[in-house]
Structure 1
Amino acid sequence: MEKIQEVEELQVKGTFSNGLLIDALPTSGWSRPTMGSFGETTSERNMEKVWEYLMDDEVRTIGVFGMGGVGKTTIMKHINSRLLNETYYEDEKRIASELYAILSQKERYVLILDDLWEAFPMEKVGIPEPTRSNGCKLVLSTRFLEVCRKMECRPVVVELLPKEEALNLFMSKVEEGQTVLVPEVKEIARKVAKECTGLPLAIITLAGSMSGVNDIHEWRNTLNQLISSTKQISDIENVVFELLKFCYSRLKDEKLQYCFLYCALYPQDHIIPRKELIEY
């Protein structure tokens, strides 16, 4: 009852007479809201009024008001969706032309494109052809040699870490938490590092899961499990998957495993707030 009363008081404080307060879109990205029913002629006419004012340069502020349940929020959702749809198809050409205009004016720049999954015609996205005369260069990263060939790049293969470098990286991550391994454990750790086959991602991930562990039995068990899970695998990318799966299985708490899996539902390179992830 106390909570209900508190909520009612807050609702009264948040009431704006004859109007509706709309929060700004988050600056971190756009959302495409789920749309409610919007088939009534009156509702469409109301939305068109708002849209007409939006397109009028003389009108800078628009207030949509009405009693609760009349459809104000639905109108706002449709306006938002329509704005996104209106700009999305035009943006590709507009941004490409703007990018081309900006880059064409520059000399001797380096354009870096990270994590490319397929080749594309540069003029389509507004990138001028890098030539000796304009002094411009393009550097891209990709998993696929074929992308380099189609983009007519000079390929540079990123080599795996040699044994000594791989071991140094592994041990630096394991002992990052000021855990000094005893000699017997360190010898097993060397063999565990070797199972990472020189892949930095695998080394860092596996070392992180073993950070703070100084029990020789746990290290020996880890080594045996790794050898068992990777001995039949020849494809190096699948080795990474097996190592990641192994680290996942080391998350003994089921809640932590859920958190790990839920990360896969976020877009690539998206910032994941810890509190938000835990709540989900």
Structure 2
Amino acid sequence: MYLNVEESLPSILVRVFFTSDLFGRKKVFNQISKRRGWEAQVTISRGVFDEVAQRDSIPKVVERILHHQKIFGQEEIVESTWGVIKEGRVGLLWGVYGTGGVGKTTFLSQINNKFLTESNDFDVVIWVLVSRNPNVKRIQEEIGKRLELYEECWEKKTENEIASVIKRSLERNKYVLLLDDMWEKLDLASIGIPDPKRNGSKIVFTTRSNEVCGSMGVDVEIEVKRLMLRDAWDLFTMNMEETLRSHRDIPDVALKIMRSCKGLPLVLSVIREAMSRKNSIKEWRAALGVLSSSAAEFARIEDVILPMLKFSYDELKSETTKSCFLFCALFPEDYEIGKDELIEHWVSQGFIIGSKGINDRGNAILGTLIRAQLLEESGSREHVQMHDVVRDMALWISSGCGGDQKQENVLVVKANAQQNVAST
């Protein structure tokens, strides 16, 4: 490595000759900045790379927001998994599988956040959402932005060209790649992911099917299982003490409702929010009747989830709120929807009528859907997301499978397209 510093210039021109190690580059830039307080223009061989030295280095990991401070039933598996990842004893490619709504993303988020709070020797942790219809260019873009490699010119580059850029950056660093929500085998090499065996890097992905684990040739399989009864009860009754005390028979009915949720954290959380303000034993017994029949109608756990979640949709008091909720399924899977943008869509669709107080009414509907856990806040809390299973439920209702045969509008969703098609 050779540094040529011309101190006579107003700002230091530094020409650095060394490898394409992005993180090593950043470290040198920051050292220069801290020592002299100057702004340096840096030109890197193997292509021009202009950088301001005083910019912060890429953070090792970006924290994932957990929607509940207390996570139920995953403490042991998270700690054991983290211990093995940290020590690097076994496995370079890990597959985490389990049914929808069981908590796979929550599990992976906890592993991600461990890199913030626990000592480790990895250089960078990268989180990528894969989704049902993986798009290699989009995945490459997410990785590029995370590594601060992305440029607008990437739109004109081929997948192979971008893969080469990503590979050069990653192969000299010990990385952790966390891939959430994989539905099929993914060609990691085509994205630009170097072989993790070179330096002990790790790749961990989540999927609903252990068949995907097999097709990926994983070294380690982890099943995220449904909650045991004690954990399920603790999750279901969280912040419901007053409701449970409102009638002596409610705890017994609540226990039966909890059992009907089949130990799935998503279902338990959604049903809990629907029941949390019901103080009448009649309401609880009516809910038990609906939920028990839904659970008994289907043999497979996967088939139980949507009818169970529909109970929360049915509990929405306003038809306007229901329409606004179903509209959210028009956006692609796992899409982060801007709150203001969403309210504008609701207005343009005629769900919110009038000229006064539109934003207030829109935000009130958003609040209702968030409290019902039918939408989740994401990022800076200026955006919302639909859990992929909740989105499946919304599409299921819109297609008439949820029993709403008189639905006025059927939502038709295509990849990256948004359409509202009036049924005939």
TM-score (normalised: structure 1): 0.63
- Counterpart CA distance in 2 for 1:238 and 1:129 is 38
Question: How far does residue 174 in structure 1 lie from its aligned partner after superposition?
Answer: 4.1
- Counterpart CA distance in 2 for 1:217 and 1:250 is 15
The answer to whether structure 1 residue 223 and structure 2 residue 223 are counterparts is no
Counterpart of 1:181 in structure 2 is 245
The answer to whether structure 1 residue 205 and structure 2 residue 270 are counterparts is yes
- Counterpart CA distance in 1 for 2:256 and 2:337 is 34
Alignment of 1:52-67 (within 5 A): none
Letter in 2 for 1:123: A
The answer to whether structure 1 residue 155 and structure 2 residue 218 are counterparts is no
Question: How far does residue 180 in structure 1 lie from its aligned partner after superposition?
Answer: 4.9
Counterpart of 2:308 in structure 1 is 243
- Counterpart CA distance in 1 for 2:300 and 2:166 is 40
Local SS of the residue matching 1:264:
helix
- Counterpart CA distance in 1 for 2:164 and 2:202 is 19
Counterpart of 1:141 in structure 2 is 206
Letter in 1 for 2:204: V
Counterpart of 1:266 in structure 2 is 331
Local SS of the residue matching 1:189:
helix
Question: How far does residue 263 in structure 1 lie from its aligned partner after superposition?
Answer: 1.1
Do 1:262 and 1:277's aligned partners in 2 also have CA atoms closer than 8 Å? no
Counterpart of 1:6 in structure 2 is none
User: Number of residue pairs matched?
Assistant: 192
Question: How far does residue 211 in structure 1 lie from its aligned partner after superposition?
Answer: 1.7
- Counterpart CA distance in 2 for 1:117 and 1:149 is 12
Question: How far does residue 275 in structure 1 lie from its aligned partner after superposition?
Answer: 4.6
Do 1:173 and 1:208's aligned partners in 2 also have CA atoms closer than 8 Å? no
Q: What 5-or-longer segments of structure 2 have no aligned partner?
A: 1-151, 347-424
- Counterpart CA distance in 1 for 2:316 and 2:160 is 47
Letter in 2 for 1:102: S
User: Greater helix percent: which structure?
Assistant: 1
Question: How far does residue 255 in structure 1 lie from its aligned partner after superposition?
Answer: 0.6
Question: How far does residue 237 in structure 1 lie from its aligned partner after superposition?
Answer: 1.3
Do 2:154 and 2:162's aligned partners in 1 also have CA atoms closer than 8 Å? no
- Counterpart CA distance in 2 for 1:245 and 1:112 is 31
Do 1:174 and 1:208's aligned partners in 2 also have CA atoms closer than 8 Å? no
- Counterpart CA distance in 1 for 2:256 and 2:237 is 12
Question: How far does residue 185 in structure 1 lie from its aligned partner after superposition?
Answer: 1.0
Local SS of the residue matching 2:312:
helix
Do 2:159 and 2:190's aligned partners in 1 also have CA atoms closer than 8 Å? no
Question: How far does residue 270 in structure 1 lie from its aligned partner after superposition?
Answer: 2.6
Do 1:112 and 1:140's aligned partners in 2 also have CA atoms closer than 8 Å? yes
- Counterpart CA distance in 1 for 2:179 and 2:156 is 23
Match of 2:161 among 87, 91, 94: 94
Letter in 1 for 2:245: L
Counterpart of 2:188 in structure 1 is 122
Q: Taking structure 1 as reference, are residues 173 and 157 closer, same or farther at Cα in structure 2, changes over 3 Å only?
A: farther
TM-score (normalised: structure 2): 0.43
Question: How far does residue 118 in structure 1 lie from its aligned partner after superposition?
Answer: 1.1
Do 2:232 and 2:268's aligned partners in 1 also have CA atoms closer than 8 Å? yes
The higher-RCO structure (CA 8 Å, 6+ apart) is 2
User: Whose Rg is larger?
Assistant: 1
Match of 1:167 among 227, 233, 246: 233
Question: How far does residue 130 in structure 1 lie from its aligned partner after superposition?
Answer: 1.9
Question: How far does residue 139 in structure 1 lie from its aligned partner after superposition?
Answer: 0.6
Do 1:162 and 1:198's aligned partners in 2 also have CA atoms closer than 8 Å? yes
Q: Taking structure 1 as reference, are residues 144 and 88 closer, same or farther at Cα in structure 2, changes over 3 Å only?
A: farther
- Counterpart CA distance in 2 for 1:276 and 1:181 is 41
Q: Taking structure 1 as reference, are residues 233 and 105 closer, same or farther at Cα in structure 2, changes over 3 Å only?
A: same
Q: Deviations over 1:26-60 (max 9, x none)?
A: xxxxxxxxxxxxxxxxxxxxxxxxxxxxxxxxxxx
Letter in 2 for 1:203: L
The answer to whether structure 1 residue 103 and structure 2 residue 170 are counterparts is yes
CA RMSD of aligned residues (A): 2.1
Q: What 5-or-longer segments of structure 1 have no aligned partner?
A: 1-84
Question: How far does residue 224 in structure 1 lie from its aligned partner after superposition?
Answer: 0.6
Q: Deviations over 1:7-36 (max 9, x none)?
A: xxxxxxxxxxxxxxxxxxxxxxxxxxxxxx
- Counterpart CA distance in 2 for 1:276 and 1:251 is 22
